[in-house]
Structure 1
Amino acid sequence: MTSRPCPICKKPRMAEFTPFCSQRCRDRDLAQWFNDGYAVPGLAASPEDVARED
């Protein structure tokens, strides 16, 4: 069975940083989440629901 490559740069994964190959790729992925580069699918929240959370 062949291991899947790093999802960021496609290099072989390292056990220490799984599923990434390095700390750099791990940090790039985290930055994508912080900068709204990724989104979890679902229904959009209405402005009223967002205001109630504050």
Structure 2
Amino acid sequence: MNDDVIKLNCPTCQATVYWNDKYPHRPFCSERCKLIDLGEWASEGHRIPGEDAQAKNDEFE
């Protein structure tokens, strides 16, 4: 394997993924893992820490 290719782990299943055309869903190993991650964001299983934007907007009304 070329040393210039980035090697990482799939954020969902931890499988090895290489940053090349063989893995079109990178950084995920597959479409399935990509959709699992999307579902986690949609159900608020994943969150970015910080203030609630809605609460902050309510202050201005």
- The answer, yes or no, to whether TM exceeds 0.5 is yes
Q: CA RMSD in A?
A: 2.3
Q: Quick check: which one's helix share is greater? A: 1
Paired letter, 2:15: K
Q: Deviations over 1:6-49 (max 9, x none)?
A: 01101122520100000000000000000000111112353872
Give the count of matched residue pairs.
Answer: 50
Match of 2:45 in 1: 37
Segments of 5+ residues of structure 1 without an aligned counterpart are: none
Q: Quick check: which one's strand share is greater? A: 2
Aligned match for 2:33, one of 7, 25, 29: 25
The 1:47–1:22 alpha-carbon spacing in structure 2 relative to 1, beyond 3 Å, is: same
Q: What's the % identity of the aligned pairs?
A: 32
Matched, 1:6 2:14: no
Report the 3-state secondary structure (helix = DSSP H, G, I; strand = E; otherwise coil) of the residue aligned with 1:4: strand
Segments of 5+ residues of structure 2 without an aligned counterpart are: none
* Superposition TM-score, scaled by structure 1 size: 0.72
